[in-house]
Amino acid sequence: MTSLDYAQMFRLDDRHAVVVGCGGIGAEIAAGLAAQGARVTCLDKDPATAEAARGRLPDGQARGHTAYPVDVLDESALDVLADQLGDVDVLVLTAAVNVRKQLLDYSGEEFDRVVGLNLRGTFNAVRAFGSGMARRGSGSIITLTSIRALVVEPGQGVYAATKAGVMQLVRTLAAELGPQGVRVNAVAPGVVETPLTRQIRDDEAWGRAYAEKSALGRWARPEEMVGAVCWLASDAASFVTGSQVMVDGGWTAIDGRFTPPTG
């Protein structure tokens, strides 16, 4: 007989989930994890953003949902908070930044800022919370990468390099933490309607071109990233590690932006 309870395998009851980066997609992920029964801690550099995400969660006081400000580039603050929060079963990392410029126009400061948050921030957060998971012998770590981990366009070079780098960290962490029972995976969104993509969607031709690139012919909504994250967090994905789940509407599956005649 199977050891999985098929009726409950997607549930996260009695688990503590930490979401790092709670604006936009992160806020939806926090809400989704809570809806599956998890006790959620919302972390963000901006205290108001963390608290706003926590405020959306059902039965916040009764369920013990919490919110804290923290900068993932502050290693000591992360370590203190990780000790304060105690056992963490699920860690979701969404914090990232992009500077859209061609590479030859990039400044050193801009390069360091993008690489610092996207790569070093991921490293810092995993080190702070992953060690406890390894000691306990269980846990699920989920990072958000991007279609840019696989495909690029002008102006996305440094961001794309960091997202590809995060995926290599995911694979290495899966190999290193797997023997301790910790799974590490990534979710790669396509183009999503968030405040960060407003510049693109405000340009009618640019926004339409992005929509038409996917097989579904539209942009994603932030809540459409939640299902993949909750699955990876749950027992339903108990044998999934080192993987990158594409939630891109078929963007990376399609060759080119032209449909040739087939008749």
H, E, C per residue of the chain: CCCCCCCCCCCCCCCEEEEECCCCHHHHHHHHHHHCCCEEEEEECCHHHHHHHHHCCCCHHHHCCEEEECCCCCHHHHHHHHHHHCCCCEEEECCCCCCCCCHHHCCHHHHHHHHHHHHHHHHHHHHHHHHHHHHHCCEEEEEECCHHHCCCCCCCHHHHHHHHHHHHHHHHHHHHHHHHCEEEEEEEECCECCHHHHHHHHCHHHHHHHHHHCCCCCCECHHHHHHHHHHHHCHHHCCCCCCEEEECCCHHHCCCCCCCCCC
Is 159 a known active-site residue?
yes
Catalytic residue selected from 6, 68, 106, 159: 159
Structure tokens at 263: 């008749």
Of 200, 257, 246, 252, the residue nearest 224 (C-alpha): 246
The torsion angles phi and psi of 130, rounded to 5 degrees, stand at -70, -30
Query: Sign of dihedral through CA atoms 43, 44, 47, 49?
Result: negative
Active site residues: 159
